[in-house]
Copies of this chain bind each other. A is one copy, B any other.
Amino acid sequence: MAAAVEFTKRQREIIAIVKREEPISGAKIAARLNLTRPTLRNDFSILTMTGMLDAKPKVGYFYAGQHVPSLSFATLYETPVAAIMLQPVLIQATTTVQDAVTSLFMNDVGSLYVTDANQQLQGIISRKDLLRSTINGGDLSRNFASLIMTRMPNVVTTIPSARVLDAGYLLKEHQVDSLPVLAADTQKVVGKITKTRLMTYFIEQGLKIEQD
């Protein structure tokens, strides 16, 4: 059983002092802050329990925080989709399969969104859809995107205010690679969230925490 602690301003000041002057006694830290030692008792408890500080009897406090990377559920999982979504590549229903494949490679993406003139989503085309279409043969310059796309309302979508966790849940449950992000009011396509984007996001957060 564990929980996350947000440190108070005073606790962050104590950490800063210890980082600068370690080893340093509790009395000296209190003096730096113009406070009495008993006032700081709780802060010292919190800071040693969380592993930020190490206390050695008769020597003082040491900084030990680098060994306890901190992670908050809210920061990691409750970030809104809007904060990490990507620009989608849009094509039209009358784009040929040939041009769709070219667009996929040119933009180095895994999916294309088919929209009408008002940026309303009509469908989505994945790398897998294109591979299925090319292997089946036929004239790729005469087949239209509308023929091979997954069509609305069968496309799983999300909204900008959804949490990263919710978007990931949809990608996982529906086994899709990409989620169009639609404005909650106008339903216009405003972004995309992909498995790759989410994976990269989680790894970047982990690397950042490790370097803290």
Contact = CB atoms under 8 A, between A and B. Distances in A.
Contact of A1 (B70, B165, B172, B210): B70
A172 to B, nearest CB: 5
A140 B135 CA distance: 9
A73 B5 contact: no
A202 B49 contact: no
Interface of A: 1-7, 12, 15, 41-42, 45-46, 49-52, 65, 68-73, 76-77, 98, 101, 104-105, 127-128, 130-132, 134-135, 140, 165, 168-169, 171-172, 177, 195-196, 198-200, 202-204, 206-207, 209-210
Contacts of A52: 3
A3 B165 contact: no
Contacts of A50: 3-5
Contacts of A130: 131
Contact of A76 (B45, B71, B105, B204): B71
Given A45-B42, A72-B2, A131 B202 contact: no
Nearest to A202: B202
A211 to B, nearest CB: 11
B203 A168 contact: yes
Contacts of A42: 41-42, 45
